[in-house]
Amino acid sequence: MPREKPRMGRRQQHASAMPRTPAGLEPIHGVHAVRALFERGQPPRALWIQQGHAEQRLEALLERARAAGCELKRVPRETLDALSGQAAHQGVIGFCEPLVAENETALWWRLEQWRDERPPLLLILDGVTDPHNLGACLRSADAAGVHGVIVPKDKSAPLNATVRKVACGAAESVPVFQVTNLARCMEKLKQLGVWITGTAGEADALLFEADFTGPCALVMGAEGKGMRRLTREACDGLVKLPMLGSVSSLNVSVATGICLFEALRQRAGAMPG
């Protein structure tokens, strides 16, 4: 008697029917993150839309994708779920070229350009390894007019799909520079006239006492551990946020936003209306 062929489970059926993803491209999840790509003139190469009611809800995004010549594919929700993992895809995934951080040579070249226009404002992240925090920091950096973000190669979150989703387009607009030796990079920044202010809970001065009007860099350390010793020693000065409640510290991305907008306030003279 012939043996009965085992039935495939639901997950196995979906896995076997999974369409092949575009080679060499990175998936970007979520309506806001994908829409930001179009708004910044960097549309995805391909766009996968959830079949059914999502097509009607995302019709405006579909029109932009058609106009940009994106490869369109309508797929079941299970396919998007499998691709996005724990991320909320909201019925759409775009496929883009992977982000690549710039190197230290590019930093010095860009710094000369920025100095010719207006005093540069840089953000240095030492040990921010959570992609959600990195994405949120990039979003705040973009909003505050930061010229570039500097991270160490060995102590930083990768520029992956999670970073791009949380950053909502800022990962494509704010240059990120990876450097081999962060303390040495900071010393060269100081030689080039950039004033470096680090943040530390034990600092004597408050954030609002710092001067961010000239060429400057703000250093934020890893949540919990703070800046590494060599990074701290390379700073020109240290400041802290006033903490009036029972908590002793803030999430690094929240603290970064507060510090950057204090710098923006000083540099702009007044917040834009």
Phi, psi of 96 (to 5 degrees): -130, 165
CATH superfamily of 24-96: Ribosomal protein L30/S12 (3.30.1330.30)
Please report, for residues 63, 71, 85, the alpha-carbon distance to residue 52 in angstroms, rounded to integers and kept in the order given: 16, 18, 21
pLDDT tens digits, 126-166: 999 999 999 999 999 999 999 999 999 988 999 988 898 89
The answer, yes or no, to whether residue 86 has pLDDT greater than 90, is no
Domain boundaries, the chain: 24-96, 104-268
What is 104-268's CATH number?
Answer: 3.40.1280.10
Residue 11 pLDDT greater than 70, yes or no: no
Q: What is the mean pLDDT of residues 220-247?
A: 91
| Of residues 218 and 21, more confidently modeled | 218
pLDDT for residue 271: 45
Q: How far apart are CA 211 and CA 208, in angstroms?
A: 8
Q: What is the Cα–Cα distance from 124 to 217, expressed in whole angstroms?
A: 7
| pTM exceeds 0.85, yes or no | no
pLDDT at 145: 95
- Residue 14's pLDDT is 45
| Mean pLDDT value across residues 238-242 | 95
Q: Report yes or no: 51 and 74 within 8 Å, Cβ to Cβ.
A: yes
Q: What is the pLDDT of residues 40-76, one digit of tens each?
A: 788 899 999 888 877 778 888 889 989 999 999 888 8
> Which single residue is written with the structure tokens 């240290």?
238
Cα–Cα distance, 83 to 94 (Å, whole number): 11
**For the chain, what is the mean pLDDT?**
87
Neighbours of 33 (CB within 10 A): 28
Q: What percent of the chain has pLDDT over 70?
A: 91
